[in-house]
Structure 1
């Protein structure tokens, strides 16, 4: 195997000679992608997404930030093979991938993290095959973002939504911003950095809400944690870098659909809303209810539209590749949808234009 740093070739033992095709493809894409990332100032991006069908995985590269400045990490997620593929053969090929990635990319083997996408029982969610946490930091548009490369299937930042978050940041100046199904709050970071008048971040998971709090603090944004309307539980003031701006940034732990209903009763209004729900959820915290974005999107978007101030707009994104909005029912409820998906697909995801759907939502 050619040494990316020059010098003598590096021997790599593989199970299948066809792995050379995978290595060649990864080397070619990495060369182009790294030049693009340096030119565009992108610090974390996709390198490979099952480009060679026999090697079915996604490979993302993360440049370190903060305490990890100068480090490089690779995150390799194996796709569950179809039933037509022998499991042992699929396992052998994935072993070859993990042997080749550090050599081709010139990354220390201990900086390569692997996950397996396994279909969970009884639902549409994926679960990972487990792993130890490895918490570090990367950046997006100069914002420091905490990532966990080892403990979760998703690292804490959805790379395919990079352009969408940048758009939100540009739209946020002077606005009252609401982030629903907020995950680790990276969209909130963009809104706060973009000059939002105030931000509200809502998620059911305490784990992710705490993660969002650390992201805000790492970037010097003060925030408050609110567990009930008009009640402030805790106030945290930025980081050692000092407090940025005077905006109020609220973190709320709540079931999003129930919170929307309560916010409507309180007559809350927002100028800009970002809503990126999961495809499916049967979280225990939801009780007996389940969430399905295809089944439930009309109710969700009607509720979101009622929280918009005059002239306000919501950005709705989802990752269900077969998603079809019920435009007729939404129109009947006074909701207008504008498909902007083509504008939100990053260069590093252009091989798969179905990676997500994205819409602007307005109230008629």
Structure 2
């Protein structure tokens, strides 16, 4: 009985919090010129959900565990929370997309959740991005990198840019809009590369002026490093997965174990003199294994920009880490 009272009180607090955030976020987003942003992020411990807005649609993520509840209780609580969200924002069922992560193994975690393909275009400052709210756990646009995309766009002017593990190409679009002379986007997934091309088209960027390569990135780096005529880049963006054992890759990938090798190989073999690498990861326990003195001895600085890169609408300041590596 006491537990039910605590939950009832927490849900009332959640509803009140949403009412407040609704007004605040709408005004802020309008001033910022953005149509996709975070509304609520586990503000109340007893209501561990995340709510994101995309134009007039919303995505609700269930972040609760099964530690103190059954699967049935978990589903019922999420349903109650969903009803509160619909009520506060006056949404139809079709306007709220529910995401819940279940225990999955191997390739199951990357499979589609649905086939509805609820796709729409959102504006972020001067850029436009295609998002899919229904079919995957992620929507195709990482909102926590909004500030980083803006910075990257400014840094890309007149630069040759390489975007590794490019996903749907949002950073490639940012670079091209910022005046990059040429952008090379590489990913293992043809689906994501096609998505990236759609994002280029949405922004009036000619895809034929840039390169899109579908391949195993780790193997590509090995092969290209042996090519004496290989391209060098002024600006490299690297945001790899935390871990991957995909059968399409010749070797397993682990961000903590292998970031040192990939960063140093990029420095020596792919970065042009005076160039920069922007390296990001969402692995919360990540530790940079290249010490400051080693960066300096190689003629570089490594600036940790993690905290300043977290947008205002995010409570979680550990959602990603960002390092800017540049020649001295």
Q: What TM-score, normalized by structure 2, do the two folds share?
A: 0.89
Name the CA distance, whole Å, in 2 between partners of 1:129 and 1:78. Answer: 17
In the alignment, which residue of structure 2 is the partner of 1:280? 243
Partner SS state of residue 291, structure 2? helix
Q: 1:327 aligns with which of 280, 287, 290?
A: 290
CA distance in 2, matches of 1:338, 1:76: 34
Q: Residue 295 and residue 120 in structure 1: after superposition, are their counterparts in 2 closer, same or farther (change >3 A)?
A: farther
1:10 corresponds in structure 2 to none
Which residue in the other structure is 2:226 paired with?
265
Whether 2:263 is the aligned partner of 1:301: answer: yes
Unmatched 5+ stretches in structure 1: 1-15, 64-71, 225-247
> Which aligned pairs between 1:1-364 and structure 2 lie closer than 5 A?
17-18=8-9, 19-63=11-55, 72-121=56-105, 130-132=113-115, 133-224=117-208, 248-266=209-227, 267-287=230-250, 289-306=251-268, 307-328=270-291, 331=294, 334=298, 336-349=301-314, 351-362=315-326
Distance verdict in 2 for CA 1:20–1:47, change over 3 Å: same
Cα distance in 2, alignment partners of residues 50 and 44 from structure 1: 18
Separation in 1, partners of 2:213, 2:292: 30
**Could you tell me how far 1:277 is from its partner in structure 2?**
0.7
> Following the alignment from structure 2 to structure 1, what is the Cα–Cα distance between the partners of residues 26 and 303?
33
Say which structure is richer in helix.
2
Contact 1:181 1:275 survives alignment (8 Å)? yes
SS in 2 for 1:326: coil
Q: Is residue 302–residue 330 contact of structure 1 (8 Å, CA) maintained in 2? A: no
TM-score (norm 1): 0.81
In 1, are the aligned partners of 2:66 and 2:74 still within 8 Å (CA)? no
Task: Check the 8 A contact 2:132/2:140 in 1, yes or no.
Answer: yes
Size of the aligned set, in residue pairs, is 315
Runs of 4+ in 1 over 6 A off after TM superposition: none
**CA–CA separation in structure 1 for the residues paired with 2:103 and 2:236:** 31
